[in-house]
Amino acid sequence: MQNTTTYKLCIHGPWRSGKSSIMFRYFQNNFSEDNRYTGVDSMAKEYTINDRNIKLEFWDRQSCERFRALPLSYIVNSDAFIFPFDLTSYSSYKDIKAMLEELQDICNREAYHNPIVYLIGNKSDLEQDPLIKDEEVQSFVDGHKMYYIKVSCKTGNGFERLHQIPYDLSHLTPRHQSKSIKLTKPKRDPNKIYC
C-alpha cells in the first residue's frame, strides 16, 4: 500500500475571527452561531492527488490562547497557515497584520521555512458597506507573498478556493517529516485558570 503524506495547517488569528468556524465549515460543511466548537483542536481529511495519498490536518488555536504568540513548535512544523480576520472589525484586521509580521520575522530567521499563508477575510455575509477595502488588503498581501481569500463561514461563500489547499500543498515536501517536534495539545497548568 502507498504511504500517506501528512501536511499540517495551523489556523491562528484574533479572538472571534472565525478560526473554529473555518475548520468546521471546511471539514463538515456546517456552521453554528453559538460557541459550541470550543475544545476541538484538530481535524483531518485524506485525499488522493496525482496518485499520491495526502492527509491534510488543520490545527485550530483556541480562544484562551488569544493573547499568546504562536509557539515556535507550531511555526516550524506547519506547512501552511490560515490567518483569519473579521471583515467587520478594523481592530481584527490590525491584529492579523501584526500577527503576520511576527510570523514573517520568525520565518525569515528560520531562513529555510517558507510556509504557504492564506489571509482570510471572514464574515463576508455581514459586509454591506465594506469597512476594510479590498485594495487596502491587497496592497498588504502583495508585499507579503500570501493569498487573500474572502469567505463566509455562515453561507460557505469562498470555500471553493479553500478546498484547493490540498492541491497547493501537494507540491511541497512536508515540514514535519524531517523534524522531531510534533504538534500536540498545549499542556495545561491545573493551578491556573484559563479563559
Ligand X SMILES: Nc1nc2c(ncn2[C@@H]2O[C@H](COP(=O)(O)OP(=O)(O)OP(=O)(O)O)[C@@H](O)[C@H]2O)c(=O)[nH]1
Q: Are 54 and 47 in contact (CB under 8 A)?
A: yes
> Quick one: which of 17, 20, 124, 152 contacts Mg ion (CB under 5 A)?
20
DSSP strand E in 36-113: where?
42-49, 52-60, 80-86
**Closer residue to ligand X, CB minimum distance, 5 or 63:** 63
3-state secondary structure of 187: coil
Name 119's bridge partners.
Answer: 83, 148
**Closer residue to ligand X, CB minimum distance, 155 or 164:** 155
- Residue 122 touching Mg ion (CB under 5 A): no
By the criterion CB under 6 A, which residues form the site for ligand X? Answer: 15-21, 33, 35, 37, 62-63, 66, 122-123, 125-126, 152-154
Q: Are 27 and 45 in contact (CB under 8 A)?
A: yes
**Closer residue to Mg ion, CB minimum distance, 20 or 78:** 20
Q: How far is the CB of 109 from ligand X (least distance, A)?
A: 27
Residue 29 has which C-alpha cell? 460543511
Q: Which of residues 33-72 bind Mg ion (CB under 5 A)?
A: 63
Q: How far is the CB of 184 from Mg ion (least distance, A)?
A: 18
**Closer residue to ligand X, CB minimum distance, 84 or 166:** 84
| Angstrom distance (rounded) from CA 115 to CA 105 | 13
Report the phi/psi class of residue 64: left, alpha or beta, with left for phi > 0 and alpha for psi in -120 to 50.
Answer: alpha
Q: Which residues bind Mg ion (CB under 5 A)?
A: 19-20, 63
